Structure 1
Amino acid sequence: MSEIYISIGSNVDRERHFKNGLTALIDHFPDYKHSNVYESEPVGFNGRNFFNSVFAAKTQMSVDEVCHLLKKIERDNGRTQGDKKFSPRTLDLDLLLYDDLICEQPAQLPRDEITKNAFVLLPLSEVGGHISLPTTGETISSIWENYHNPSQKLWKVEF
């Protein structure tokens, strides 16, 4: 069994798409942990605030199968393949970690957003604070404790 961590984000009809994405993940990965949900301002563009969280699970699926599934769930929620990187999202599911795998394809693992964005790092620390980044050996909790970027604000959302 492999341990996976997936970030969930939405800022277009965000409550509906976020819930749909979370429900689909639970359907495929019933043994899971889910962080708190946070609201955050968009990074890299102007737009509506996002809902963000991190979903942790165990799976027998390969990394390719997990990535394929995440893209399918995004498409099922109105995401199109041609969406620009910094733009509004109906649903954004990013594989952050797959065990201690380091690769660039089919996804960048570990995802570089982990250490750059509070909306990824804080919820990841809630469900996977004990794990170490395979690239640095630092625990997620330690990275969060030392994180400082006052321009990235988060608000906990009751969901």
Structure 2
Amino acid sequence: MAEIYISIGSNIERERHFQNGLRALIERFPDYRHSNVYESEPVGFSGRNFFNSVFAATTSLNVEQVCQILKQIEHDNGRTRGDKKFSPRTLDLDLLMYDDLICELPAQLPRDEITKNAFVLLPLSEVAAQVKHPVVGETIQTIWQNYHNPSQKLWKVEL
């Protein structure tokens, strides 16, 4: 069984799409943990704030199968392919880590955003505190404790 970590984000009809995405993940990966949900400002563009969290689960599926499921859930929630990288999203599901796999295809693993964005790193630290980042070699908790980017603010929200 592989341990997977998936970031969930939405800033278009964010409560509806976020909850739909979370329900779909739970249906496909019932052995799961889920971080708190945070509101954050968009990074790289101006627009509505996002809801973000991290979903952790175990699976017997391979990385390609997991990526296909995530794309299908996004599609089912109105996500269109070909959108600009930094733009509003109905639902954004990114595979952050798949065990300690390091690769570029079918997804960049571990995802580069882990060490760069508070909206990924803080919720990841809640569900994977003692997991070692396979490239950095430090635990997610240590990376979060050493993280400093005052321009990225987060607010915990209840859904």
- SS of residue matched to 1:22: helix
C-alpha separation in 1, matches of 2:58 and 2:68: 16
C-alpha separation in 1, matches of 2:136 and 2:153: 26
Give 1:96's aligned residue.
96
The TM-score, its normalising length taken from structure 2, stands at 0.99
C-alpha separation in 1, matches of 2:42 and 2:137: 29
- Aligned-residue offset at 1:42: 0.1
Give 2:114's aligned residue.
114
C-alpha separation in 2, matches of 1:114 and 1:129: 13
Does residue 10 (structure 1) correspond to residue 26 (structure 2)? The answer is no
- Aligned-residue offset at 1:32: 0.2
| 1:10-49: CA deviation from partner (whole Å, max 9, x where unpaired) | 0000000000000000000001000000000000000000
Alignment of 1:19-58 (within 5 A): 19-58=19-58
Give 1:157's aligned residue.
157
- Aligned-residue offset at 1:82: 1.1
How many equivalent pairs are there?
159
- SS of residue matched to 2:73: helix
- SS of residue matched to 2:6: strand
Does residue 77 (structure 1) correspond to residue 77 (structure 2)? The answer is yes
| 1:74-117: CA deviation from partner (whole Å, max 9, x where unpaired) | 00000001111000000000000000000000000000000000
- Aligned-residue offset at 1:136: 1.9
- SS of residue matched to 2:156: strand
- Over 6 Å off, 4+ runs: none
- Structure 1: unaligned runs, 5 residues or longer: none
C-alpha separation in 1, matches of 2:107 and 2:63: 9
C-alpha separation in 2, matches of 1:85 and 1:31: 31
- SS of residue matched to 1:155: strand
Give 1:64's aligned residue.
64
C-alpha separation in 2, matches of 1:53 and 1:14: 12
